[in-house]
Structure 1
């Protein structure tokens, strides 16, 4: 995912709901995120442009389903944290905020070991 394709915190929150539910309508997402439907719809349009969600007709409703899987998103975030990118001045451990529940326990342990190793260097 390029820098312009990275997910914002609001987009990540929306994706977590979609991953958990497998799909949801705009109104369901608006209720779950406690945001106005117009804000939710704008987030979904952005996620569609990034290729993270797809829109499907389900009877009379339009349902948004994740195209980007949770593991791929997690992998991108961890890669940016460990390897850095062009936006981090030292091209090292960038600042990425992740909820501990978003990270597999083994990945979390590996991440902590990598941080400890880099601090010794």
Structure 2
């Protein structure tokens, strides 16, 4: 994906279903999403059409059915979405995001260990010196 794609919360649900289950027809996607969302076939088709125009999904024909696939890996889409959020809400400041989250909810010991491991990796260390 050359240009970042912005997805709505509902479009993320469709993408998650595609990432989790691989290529799917409209009928398969509708069945996968209907229980948790209540969306019918026409709603799923509308989302897929919008997402295709955005470049988020592609499809190929299998007989009379279209089989939809994500146009990018999940990790790349997450990275792009996180960067957009960080830029929009925190002017690109990762420290601002972390500080806000710590002030809002605090950190568990597990959260602290996870953050320390992430920081250690960022510095190129092994993480073995951490408590």
Report the TM-score when normalising by structure 1: 0.66
Task: State whether residues 22 and 65 of structure 1, in contact with CA within 8 Å, keep that contact through their aligned partners in structure 2.
Answer: yes
Structure number having the greater helix percentage: 2
Q: Mark the runs of 5 or more structure 2 residues left unpaired by the alignment.
A: 98-113, 120-131
Which structure has the larger Rg over C-alpha atoms?
2
2:87: which partner in 1?
A: 84
SS of the equivalent of 2:45 reads helix
- Aligned-residue offset at 1:67: 0.8
TM-score where L is the length of structure 2: 0.61
Higher relative contact order (CA closer than 8 Å, sequence separation 6+): 2
2:65 is matched with 61
Tell me if the contact between 1:18 and 1:65 (Cα under 8 Å) persists in the aligned partners: yes
What is the aligned length? 95
RMSD: 2.8
Match of 2:40 among 28, 36, 49: 36
Tell me the distance in 2 between the aligned counterparts of 1:73 and 1:33. 20
